Amino acid sequence: MDPVADMLTCVRNANKALKPKVVVRHSNLKENIARVLKQEGYLADVAVRGETKRELELTLKIKNRKGVIAGIQKVSKPGLRKYVGAGEIPRVLGGLGVAILSTPSGVLTGQEARAQKVGGEVLVHVW
């Protein structure tokens, strides 16, 4: 199974169940995606714990007994990768959501990638 999709599923399920924290196995890509989600205000905190068996602890934001994340979707899948150029970066819900891309400059939001004029692999849509 795709490890990033597994992390997103854990976040989606915890968000619906109003769980405050989620713990998933660590990878650099997952950590970078989580940091972008925190930067955009979808997560309250991201922490790496453990020495040899590292884990990511994601603290979800909950407002008015509802999760902040309305939807989270994996775009590029192992069987069908989705690459876009700088001018083709998608807008999620007309700009209300965030597209997360893996670019040569690192993991960026769609807005940051447009500003830096770099394309890459579209990983996630969040709204």
The string of pLDDT tens digits covering residues 18-45 is: 999 999 999 999 999 999 999 999 999 9
Q: What is the mean pLDDT of the chain?
A: 95
pTM, to two decimals: 0.92
For 3-67, CATH gives 3.30.1370.30
Instruction: Indicate the domain borders of the chain.
Output: 3-67, 72-126
CB atoms inside a 10 Å sphere around CB 46? 19
- Using one digit for the tens of pLDDT, what is the confidence trace for 83-96? 999 999 999 998 89
- CA-CA distances (angstroms) from residue 40 to 37, 49, 61, 108, 123? 5, 22, 12, 11, 15
CATH architecture observed for domain 72-126: 2-Layer Sandwich (3.30)
